[in-house]
Amino acid sequence: MAKRTIVAMPGDGIGKTVLDEAIRVLDAAGFEADYVQGDIGWEFWCKEGNPLPDRTIKLLEEHKIGLFGAITSKPKDDAAAELDPALRDKGFVYSSPIVGLRQHFNLDICARPCKTYKGNPLNFVRRGVGNTIEEPEVDVVIYRQNTEGLYGGVEWSDPPQQVYDALMTHPKFVKNFSHVPKNELSISTRIFSKNATERILRAAFEHARKYGYRSVTLCEKPNVIRETSGMMFKMAKQMQKNDYPEIELWNTNIDAQMMWLTKNPEDYGVIVAGNMFGDIVSDGFAGLIGGLGFACSANMGEQVAVFEPTHGSAPKYADYPVSIVNPIAMIASACMMLDFIDEKPTADRIRTAIAEVIEEGKVRTYDMMKMTGRPDVIEKGAASTRQMADAIIAKL
Ligand code: NAI
Ligand code: MG
């Protein structure tokens, strides 16, 4: 079979370190690929006025599959101040390149699995009957709509007159906001389209069917947010009835769901939600299985897919002489890439190796040792990023 080409986008800070380690693990597992470097991140903003250069977009158009580390993002004004002086006042405006990638390629389906590793000291525990301690096994996959809703970017402060006039046609706006001066209004919209809602729901149900999950839980707030959440709930019911009768559809509200995380997380299977609520509930579940060092994700569109840990560039650790961060989130994201390109047996071998290292408990990064991240954690017995990857490779 022809060798695949993967667009490797390290980005900034620890993104570079963890991506290198993930590629070493992929090599060791016998996955044969060529990696081309995709420039992305802060360096390219400062030097070129664009954190997502066109050449990177072209590489993804050509090769379709990307592995992404993490980027550093800063507010607009701070970003402008760090731009190369030769580029200042030329109209360059900073915006996050990973959000840009999701939008450019319409990577509308985001999957974030959260599965307990046996023996992980960071696993959530709770008190059971008679003061016992229980460690529920979490095995959840969150499907998050990735391009619309509150992150769709349709927002204004002091909205244009036409927008204001349109809002004034709504009785609730007249009642609650018409006394506020227009220039004191800030508006962020939550727009759901039927097509994108259908796609995320179907992806969730398909995942449940393929991997044998009993239920799909829609985690929104249809009783209050009647139009968007309401439409999603109606469509989910219809889809379940017509196409997935063997799978149960559960409906929870995002606020109650967050409370139930610590009560019965083992009861849930596939969760599906809009952009914002999906982001919230996936971070919540990630906290139960070890946090950012373990949280992996996939961003999938019809043409292109990009796989990334959900953590950021952790700038405070970026310049440590020996990197201390946990590479498992990145390596597990690379496994999701392998699943996606029909290399699941290789992905499963890597996941088994990760599970063995964690269960054995000899090699643990600082987060797993419950230490505060500082350069001296290595002296105190924490594994470095490289040592963790080496331990996984040794199991392979
Ligand atoms: P962050 O995820 O970089 O770090 C938050 C905390 O989690 C850090 O204190 C670090 O101790 C810990 N952490 C993160 N990754 C870890 C790992 N692999 N192993 C062990 N501990 C880990 O988020 P923060 O500090 O809010 O943001 C830093 C920069 O990253 C910002 O510029 C932010 O905009 C950007 N960011 C980028 C994301 C992306 O590229 N998708 C996502 C989130 C933040
Ligand atoms: Mg998040």
Could you report the per-residue pLDDT of 163-176, keeping only the tens digit for each?
999 999 999 999 99
Q: Which pLDDT band, with edges at 50, 70 and 90, does 1 fall under?
A: low
Give the span between the Cα atoms of 357 and 93, in whole angstroms: 44
Q: Is there an atom of ligand 1 within 6 Å of 107 CB? A: no
36 and 5 in contact (C-beta within 8 Å)? yes
Same domain, 167 and 128: no
Query: Last residue of some domain: 231, 258, 288?
Result: 288
Q: Is there an atom of ligand 1 within 6 Å of 373 CB? A: yes
Q: Is there an atom of ligand 1 within 6 Å of 314 CB? A: yes
The residue type found at 91 is G
330 and 388 in contact (C-beta within 8 Å)? no
Q: Is there an atom of ligand 1 within 6 Å of 312 CB? A: yes
Q: Does residue 48 sit within a domain?
A: yes
- Using DSSP, state whether 197 is helix, strand or coil: helix
Return the ligand number nearest the Cα of 95: 1
349 and 44 in contact (C-beta within 8 Å)? no
Give the span between the Cα atoms of 270 and 39, in whole angstroms: 34
Q: Hey, what are 307's tokens?
A: 């796989």
Q: Is there an atom of ligand 1 within 6 Å of 21 CB? A: no
Q: Does residue 128 sit within a domain?
A: yes
- Using DSSP, state whether 68 is helix, strand or coil: strand
For ligand 1, atom 4, the nearest C-alpha belongs to 314
For ligand 1, atom 16, the nearest C-alpha belongs to 293
Q: Hey, what are 91's tokens?
A: 């109209």
Q: Buried b vs exposed e over 317-347: b needs ≥16 C-beta within 10 Å?
A: bbebeebbbbbbbbbbbbbbbbbbbebeebb
Q: Does residue 370 sit within a domain?
A: yes
Q: Does residue 114 sit within a domain?
A: no
- Using DSSP, state whether 145 is helix, strand or coil: strand
pLDDT in tens, 122-147: 999 999 999 999 999 999 999 999 99
Domain count, the chain: 3
| Pocket-testing residue among 76, 102, 311, ligand 1, by greatest number of atoms within 8 A of Cβ | 311
Same domain, 198 and 317: no
Query: Last residue of some domain: 188, 210, 238?
Result: 188
Same domain, 75 and 140: no
Q: Does residue 112 sit within a domain?
A: no
Same domain, 356 and 337: yes
Same domain, 236 and 279: yes
Same domain, 206 and 182: no
Q: Does residue 25 sit within a domain?
A: yes
| Pocket-testing residue among 19, 44, 292, 319, ligand 1, by greatest number of atoms within 8 A of Cβ | 292
The residues pairing with 35 across neighbouring beta strands, listed in sequence order, are 6
Q: Hey, what are 345's tokens?
A: 């047996």
Other CB atoms within a 10 A radius of the CB of residue 363 amount to 18
The residue type found at 301 is G
Q: Is there an atom of ligand 1 within 6 Å of 293 CB? A: yes
Same domain, 4 and 133: no
Query: Last residue of some domain: 188, 207, 242?
Result: 188
As a whole number, mean pLDDT of residues 177-184 equals: 98
Q: Hey, what are 385's tokens?
A: 């990023």
Same domain, 78 and 136: no
* pTM, two decimal places: 0.95
For ligand 1, atom 37, the nearest C-alpha belongs to 312
Q: Does residue 113 sit within a domain?
A: no
Same domain, 259 and 375: no
The residues pairing with 305 across neighbouring beta strands, listed in sequence order, are 65, 300
Instruction: Name the percent of the chain lying above pLDDT 90.
Output: 95
Same domain, 325 and 235: no
Return the ligand number nearest the Cα of 329: 1
Same domain, 170 and 196: no
Same domain, 165 and 53: no
- Using DSSP, state whether 161 is helix, strand or coil: helix
CATH of the domain at 361: 3.40.718.10
pLDDT in tens, 225-261: 999 999 999 999 999 999 999 999 999 999 999 999 9
pLDDT in tens, 76-107: 889 999 999 999 989 998 989 998 999 999 99
pLDDT value at residue 98: 92
53 and 39 in contact (C-beta within 8 Å)? yes
Domain that holds residue 284: 124-152+191-288
Q: Does residue 118 sit within a domain?
A: no
pLDDT value at residue 76: 82
